[in-house]
Chains A and B, each alone.
Chain A
Amino acid sequence: MAILFALLIGVLTAIGVYLSLRAQTFPVVMGLTLLSYAVNLFLFGTGRLASNAAAVIEPHATYTDPLPQALVLTAIVIAFAMTAFVIVLALKTRAELGSDHVDGAADQPAPPTAAHKNTSC
């Protein structure tokens, strides 16, 4: 099972990476969401996979490792906050730059560095 689980994480990561390399904000946000799915599953996996072993104390029960679950919970919430922020930022950049391209425009003007030469004194 672990192999499939690992493969799933691999696929989610790959697609997440692919989307985060796109040129528009929305795909990038989706990519980051996929990446957070992947990493949450990964964190979850660090406790290994156990069936019917929820870490709720009952008489004579087997328990899975509860700590990774707690970590994943924290991670989920933080990922949620970040996703919310970045999607709203996407709206803001579109409002400010008039485009949803990650650089404001496809032919984004080069940064000031090489814009003009000033070797004279």
Chain B
Amino acid sequence: MSSLIAIVLLPFFGAPFVAWLGARWRPAAAGVAVLITLACLLLLGIAAWGADLSHAQVVSFSWIPLIGLDFAFRLDGLSLLFSGIILIIGLLIVIYAQYYLATEDSTARFFASLMLFMGAMLGIVLSENLIQLVIFWELTSLSSFLLISFWQHRQEARTGARMALTLTGLGGLALLGGVLLLGHVVGSYNLSVVLNAGEVVKASPLYLPILILILLGVFTKSAQFPFHFWLPNAMAAPTPVSAYLHSATMVKAGIFLLARFFPLLAGTEAWVILVGGAGLITFLLGAYTALFKHDLKGLLAYSTLSHLGLITLLMGFGTPLALVAGLFHLINHATFKASLFMVAGIVDHETGTRDMRRLGGLARHMPRTTLLAIIAASAMAGVPLLNGFLSKEMFFTEALDVSAGWGLPLLVTLGAVFSVAYSIRFIHDTFFGEPSPDLPTHIHEPPLMMRIPVMILVVACLAVGLAPALLVGGILNLSVSAALNAPAPIFSLALWHGFNTPLIMSMLAMFGGLVVYLARRPLTRWHEQSLGRLNAKTPYNFVLRALQLGSETLTHAFDQGRLQPMVFWTLTTTLAAGLIGFLHFSAAPLFGSDPQATPFDGITALGIIIMMGLALSIAFIHAQRLIALLVLSVIGLGVSLLFVRYSAPDLALTQLSVEVVTLILMLLALRYLPQTSPPDRAKRRRLDAFLASLIGAGAATLTYAMMSRDFASIAGYFLENSLSQGGGHNVVNVILVDFRGYDTFGEISVLALAALGIYALLQGIKLPPLTPPPIATARLAHPMLLQTASQLLLPMTLLFGAYILLRGHNAPGGGFIAGLIVASAILLQLITYGLPADGRALSAKAHGAIALGLLLALGTGLASIVLGYPFLTSTFTHIRLPLIGDVEVASAMMFDFGVFFVVMGTAILMLNRIIHLQAEEPHTVTTKEPH
């Protein structure tokens, strides 16, 4: 049975080969395609020959066990019937298409897509696993998109392709949903199991959802009302595609699924109503509309709709015999409809038009084709001695059986009347009567190879019509029993069932059809005044438009690409999140009562109140940027004072030095920005103020809720081990360079990266300052004074920096602060002595410092790895230094040196870059030197 896998995969793997070869040598494409199809047929024959198909032959490999998806195929009567149709008609189509396609069409692309489609189609009918079936189902939609849109330059081809993809894609995903539910109910996705669970499924509360979802898939694929309209629009495809996909195979996939799921879903009231209803409507609608189509392919498309509807209706009856009739008619329809499409293609090919108002009298030019067309059309009309007649008789019989009253039989006959009428029209208006004068005169028979496929199919129509039981009885029996998952009912395929009601209905249809055809002109006029105006496309387009418009409005309303709404949403969400958190447990008290709460202290309180006042004032004066900035840094000062007050000297020092550098930075930046902000609208201000106060309240609440509670932390460990294990008295510093040195490591990388980022940002940016320099490079009153000062200052600051750096491990200080101090000293030096014209040299040095610093830090860390310890493991020893006295030299201090260099380099690089902003060499604007 593993040959089944080959049957499905061969076309897929063949397709690229077809494309590749066809692109190099045109005829090769069709040739390879034929070979692939023949090979598949052969394999199918081999698989079917030995096997006992009375029960399914399965080959299976597990694919995703988690969801019960297997790579599994099955061969039983039903799949044999369908794969047979797919391959045989596929073969004829390939031959036909080779002669149909024009020289400018890319046969490579065409046949490759065709092979993909064939593989997908075979996959559907041979699948054992339902999820896998859905996969191939969607693949048919995709490959048919490629085929319908083959003539991409034609607007209607593109529209038709997308419409088909949209609807069948929708159906496919609905099908996926249905299948998942089905598997959930049954507990397996393998047909062998699922098919035996009919009772379970019908009993399940999920039955109706499952049925509806699966039927969505079926109706979209088989173009049943109300999803029928994509099929006529798909006629923009090359005729071989219409013949193959849109009459013989793809549109039958839905029917296949109905047959496949017959034992699972059929027989309930919902089934009869939904399936039967859709079938009946499509049957009548298609037959009626076909008559009024002037385009040959249009007529055939609607007739296809009507025949699909007929088969669906039969399935809807839900009786075994109806199933027999349905599958029988499916075979017959495939034969005569495919041949008629090919005929339409021939006519188009020879005359250049498919419009029956212009066509006529072709019988004179192409008698053989005409003959073939007449036979095929009569089969379609259900004329005795042809296969169409037999299945239609069975259809009538079933209709009579299931229906109580006369309503259904009448409707059914009415449908038949119209199918006779349009069949007559197809033949008469094309091959007889008078052609319009503008039709080319030198029309002749098509090349033989284009006619042979038609001939074969027509012969099949005749043969089956004459000896049905002999030719299709066996396979029909097999497939029906496979579909029923039970022995097939007794049915007789015979030419003559005696003079009975169905026969009368047929004769009525024949006679009525003739009458309708003769009365077609007034009918057409009436139709075009009334029903002709209705078009199912309109609601479809309306829905799509509405969706499009809706999504554009919504998207644009929410995503405006503006910062303020982004910030607003971020803040409101944050507020909401905090609230939700607390509200989850609103029962518990919001605040605790810490026994050792911090005692009140007037001076600090005053300081805090002043800070609040200053902060509030910024909200009002922020438009005056310089003042606001100064107030801001005063607050920063206050923060560092708070740190001192509450036993955090390190923080105080750091905050202070950062504050200074930040201030310088902002002042420098402010030179290049407007000094004031334009006022905002009062409404906006009020809204923002409201939100701000809410969030402020939130932050305060959170803070107090946290601080008012007693808590135990891991701090004790650090206090105990700082000296003994970390070799430092200053626990904070030991944490920074040792316990959590890795954090500091990340932190200095952030610094370094910020510097690099800034360097890259301002590269080639030339920005004229808006204001005279406030401090930097300003003309100073007494340069001499400052110069001498800084001359003294520099070595002192350097020394102080070194001191801060070394003592850091035991007393407040450390690499970070030292780095900033030294950096500012160096910059002061530069400023007072006037800056070099461009900062290249300095920034190069700064880059060096950063790299060195990072390398030191990294090296310290890696050294310990080399020594067999984890990253950044520290060790230390004691030495005496002049001035400073006894210090532990911890390996962590090497790390602190790294910090020092990075910070110094960063500060210098940043500031230097900004100081030189307007001093940028013009050439750096145009040519950015690549590093």
A residues apposed to B, CB below 8 Å: 1-15, 17-30, 33-34, 37-38, 40-42, 44-58, 63-67, 69-74, 76-78, 80-85, 87-92, 94-96, 100, 102-103, 108, 110-111, 113-114, 117, 119, 121
Contacts and interface: CB of A to CB of B under 8 A. Distances in A.
6 contacts: A33-B632, A37-B639, A55-B730, A70-B743, A77-B751, A78-B750
B561 A108 contact: yes
A71 to B, nearest CB: 8
B556 A114 contact: yes
Interface stretch (B100-108, B349-357, B754-762, B848-856): B754-762
A17 B632 CA distance: 14
Contacts of A28: 563
B268 interface: no
By Cβ-Cβ distance, the 3 closest A-B pairs, closest first, are: A14-B696, A10-B700, A114-B556
A101 to B, nearest CB: 9
Given A5-B608, A92-B765, A54 B649 contact: yes
Given A67-B735, A77-B816, A81-B751, A88 B761 contact: yes
Contacts of B697: 10, 14
A61 B336 CA distance: 103
B78 to A, nearest CB: 38
B714 A67 contact: yes
Given A10-B697, A88-B669, A121 B654 contact: no
Main secondary structure on B side of the interface with A: helix
Contacts of B729: 56-58
Contact of A73 (B714, B736, B751, B811): B736
Given A13-B696, A63-B731, A66-B735, A30 B629 contact: yes
Contacts of B713: 47, 65, 67
A24 B662 CA distance: 19
A17 B747 contact: no
B552 A85 contact: no
Nearest to A106: B678
A113 B555 contact: yes
What class of interface size applies to chain B in its complex with A? Answer: 35 or more
B428 interface: no
Contacts of A50: 598, 646-647
B597 interface: yes
Given A26-B673, A67-B718, A108-B560, 17 more contacts: A7-B700, A8-B608, A14-B697, A14-B699, A23-B678, A23-B680, A24-B678, A33-B636, A42-B699, A45-B706, A56-B812, A63-B715, A91-B762, A94-B673, A108-B562, A117-B552, A121-B162
A56 B661 contact: no
B400 interface: no
Contacts of A18: 619, 688-689, 692
B723 A30 contact: no
B744 interface: yes
B650 A69 contact: yes
Given A30-B618, A70-B740, A117-B548, A83 B662 contact: yes
A7 B692 CA distance: 14
Interface stretch (B127-135, B580-588, B599-607, B866-874): B599-607
Contacts of B913: 88
A97 to B, nearest CB: 12
B310 to A, nearest CB: 33
B767 A95 contact: yes
Nearest to B600: A1
B420 to A, nearest CB: 38
Contacts of A58: 729
Nearest to A87: B669
Interface in B737-757: 739-740, 743-744, 747-748, 750-751, 753-754, 757
Contacts of A6: 700-701, 703-704, 707
Interface stretch (B301-309, B474-482, B509-517, B609-617): B609-617
B545 interface: yes
Residue in A41, A82, A88 with the greatest tally of chain B CB atoms within 10 Å? A88
Interface stretch (B224-232, B358-366, B564-572, B772-780): B564-572
B924 to A, nearest CB: 13
Given A50-B646, A81-B751, A76 B658 contact: yes
Contacts of B612: 7-8, 11
